[in-house]
Amino acid sequence: MGTIVHQLTKGVPAKIMEAEGLGDYYADHDHAIYPVSAAGNPFTAAYIQSKGDPIADLVEDLAAEQKARATYENLINMCDDPDVIDPLRFLREREVVHFQRFGEALDIVQRKLAEKKCFVKKPDCMANKK
């Protein structure tokens, strides 16, 4: 996405950036890529969820892939430039494949955890306490 934004804004004069609603972005970042949401909220590592539980983490991964796919579909629906739509379609399909692979991983983990002799090693949180 950063590459697409860079290609679409490369060389665009400041006045046009401002007229198109990108004045604040341009004032802070010029033509540099700064990951933000459509609402202008900066990317944060808080978007990446991890609990250390394989089931919870894989379900979170599945949800993230579906959200990304939906975002790409929304962008495709708003666009009429084939040079932008084609990479967006590729990215959307990649999210579908990721979703399928995470689903397969979830099935494997669930089957493994259902086995009678399944041992899950957890770090001993009391190791340094007496």
- Indicate the annotated binding residues: 65, 98
Give the residue ranges of the annotated binding site for Mn(2+).
65, 98
Residue 73, sorted as left (phi over 0), alpha (psi -120 to 50) or beta, turns out to be alpha
- Sequential DSSP letters for 46-103: GGS---S-HHHHHHHHHHHHHHHHHHHHHHHHH---HHHHHHHHHHHHHHHHHHHHHH
Packing angle, helices 54-78 and 82-114, rounded to 10: 160
CA distance 114 to 112: 5
CA distance 22 to 95: 28
| Contact between residue 45 and residue 35 where contact means Cβ atoms under 8 Å apart | no
